[in-house]
Amino acid sequence: MRDRKIIIVTGGAGFIGSHMVDLLIDKGHEVHVIDNLQGGREDNILHHFNNPNFKFTNMDIRELNYNNPIFKKANYVCHFAGIGDIVPSIEKPLDYIDVNLNGTIKVLECSRYAGIEKFVYAASSSCYGIAEVPTDENHKIQPEYPYALSKYFGEQAAFHWNKVYGLPVNSIRIFNAYGTRSRTSGAYGAVFGVFLKQKIENRPLTVVGDGTQTRDFLYVTDVATAFLAALETKMNGQVWNLGASNPQSVNKIVELLNSDVTYIPKRPGEPECTYADTAKIRSELNWKDKVSFEDGVKTLLLNIDYWKNAPLWTPDTIAIATKNWFKYLDE
């Protein structure tokens, strides 16, 4: 994008969304964030509040009307808003469908009526379930839990609007994003948020299983540059997998955090390895990741105070939080 654009970022106060806002502002664009601050934090974007190229609307995406004025002069939409915590989706499937599907449809309708030039959807690699690796975009879809299903439904809705209404849509299936500003909500979730709070409190890290499971971690600023490329491209109707294509074990995280460990039961429905085949996004969008895993973890440790008010998870509280997960997903 060589010229200045007006770009809406839903969920722009959240983990990935706030980094996307930083990148777009740095590129000289006008950014309008829509976020209800349920999963995101105002302090993630507070440094932009005096910038005339930044606007913020505290709103639930489900409350959007098709003719919402926020969209009228906008060029692009990056859609990150949604419920991101995985484990609670077992207990609240209707909430996840409502936000991640119905909320997405509200944003799509606003985009359609406003004549948005490009809509990029933040999808999830969880749609692949327990997948063959490395996993490419043609892998069969087999969601294992309601979060995964709701995110896939949202993606399908986006492509339906592309097919029926001609809304230019691209989708990026994110594997394992990590980095500063990751969620500190009350829900048991992503490994780094859990581990960093435990490290602050000098508690052992709660490793699921034996820690040999691997995840395709990608630092959040590299995620943001991929979304920018998906906005800039003339292509539409495309799906891209996004990861580092370099899976790291949980034991490697423990080593880098230099902490003691306690082991908790392995959870059903979760893969031993996630590993994105990123050949498509690298070739079609000329995207490259820049932050090594070691450097990314160092940055997290330098900013560890961000997680000081996050919930402290213990084996007992994790067992309570995941009780229904085992009930419904155990083989």
Sole residue written with tokens 């991101």: 84
* Other beta carbons less than 10 A from residue 154's beta carbon: 28
As a whole number of angstroms, the distance between CA 251 and CA 254 comes to: 5
State which amino acid sits at residue 190.
Answer: A
3-state helix, strand, coil in the chain (%, to 5): 40, 20, 40
- The DSSP letter of residue 126 is G
Residue 297, token pair as written in the block: 């973890």
Q: What is the largest distance, in Å, between two alpha-carbon atoms of the chain? A: 54
Residues β-bridged to residue 315: none
Residues β-bridged to residue 171: 121, 239
As a whole number of angstroms, the distance between CA 42 and CA 281 comes to: 31
User: At 323, is the secondary structure helix, strand, or coil?
Assistant: helix
User: Shortest CA distance to 24 belongs to which of 75, 70, 68?
Assistant: 75
CA angle 156, 160, 166 (to 5 degrees): 140
Residue 26, token pair as written in the block: 């740095």
Contact (Cβ atoms closer than 8 angstroms) between residue 281 and residue 226: yes
Residue 230, token pair as written in the block: 């998906």
Catalytic residues: 147
Residues in the chain: 331
